[in-house]
Structure 1
Amino acid sequence: MPELTPPSVLLHRSFLDAMAEFAAEGRGGASDDSMVGAEIRGFGAGWHDPAVFARYLATLEAAARPETPRPDGRVACTTYWYADGPTYLGRLAIRHTLNGPLLEWGGHIGYDVRPSARRRGHATAMLREALPLARALGIDPALLTCDVENTPSRKVIEACGGVYEDTRVGKRRYWVPTSG
């Protein structure tokens, strides 16, 4: 049964396959402002090397600690991978606080499902599983956003109780309760 899990070297091969799927659909280019895009640009060339992959995992782990130095505009962020045994299905990130850009268009939680695993309910299951984790971080409600034209993501957010607030800079903004 799929579940959220901390990033792990045990998923290395499947993770690489998933990142190749994302890259094949154009993710990772200069105009891709998503977390997956930034990670492909920053680490993708070396992910095949186990040492580079281990450093990448350490970077993700460190990003969740409040005391970790980070570039201006970045906030503490906990990353989970969604996996079914040895198969990487997607990722979900919980940003612990909101700064200006995150309040406008980024939100507390972002997620991606690998292309070959889409349209099977994984995004909804990931988000439902993440809401209590966000609550444990003191987030209630959580802000989630999606591109105006991203109907699948809109449906995921609404299925998890998202209440539409408004649209800003091409993003629909929803508040999702994390309790109950």
Structure 2
Amino acid sequence: MFTLVAPDTSFYHSFLESHQEWAGAHQDGAAVFMADDVTTPEGFEEWVARLLDAENTPEKDGMVPCTYRWITEGSRYVGAIAFRHHLTPALLNSGGHIGYGVRPSDRGRGAASWALREMCSLVAARGELDRVLLTCDDNNAA
């Protein structure tokens, strides 16, 4: 059974396994950027702290306040989903309010659909938006 949790350092080893599965590809919804050190315990801890702070961080350089949640199954990191609190002109064109990604070995199990439903419920409970924008890359695998 899947759960949505706030990013947590207790998922370090499972996240590393997932990170290796991505083999350098962009992990939608995870906010892993090239400069991020997610492979050392210290770097991972700093990165998780930034994800948790992002919810209350003012817009800067095109980055908007964002709520990150991890899709988990027990102690296993399955993927990530992110809700951007508002949209910039760039996000209106590409990105939208919600981005998500599931580790390759867990795809096809319904994790993304489940997480999207859960995140939409959380967004609705906030009462700030009437609708959310989702975008999809043309080359996204079905």
Q: Same fold (TM over 0.5)?
A: yes
Other structure's SS at 2:35 match: helix
Q: Which moved more, 1:141-150 or 1:10-19?
A: 141-150
| Deviation by residue 1:129-173 (Cα, 9 ceiling, x = unmatched) | 110112234122110000123253xxxxxxxxxxxxxxxxxxxxx
- Counterparts of 1:44-63 in structure 2, within 5 Å, are 46-63=37-54
- For residue 73 of structure 2, what is the aligned residue in structure 1? 84
Match status 1:128 vs 2:106: no
- Counterparts of 1:63-142 in structure 2, within 5 Å, are 63-65=54-56, 68-137=57-126, 138-142=128-132
- For residue 39 of structure 1, what is the aligned residue in structure 2? 32
Structure number with greater CO (CA < 8 Å, separation at least 6) is 2
Any gaps of 5 or more consecutive residues in structure 1?
153-180
Distance 2:12 2:86 in 1: 29
Distance 1:90 1:110 in 2: 11
Q: CA deviation at 1:127?
A: 0.3
Runs of 4+ in 1 over 4 A off after TM superposition: none
- Counterparts of 1:20-39 in structure 2, within 5 Å, are 20-23=20-23, 26-28=24-26, 34=28, 36=30, 39=32
TM-score (norm 2): 0.89
**Which protein has the bigger strand share?**
1
How many equivalent residue pairs? 141
TM-score (norm 1): 0.72
CA RMSD of aligned residues (A): 1.9
Q: What percentage of aligned pairs have identical amino acids?
A: 41
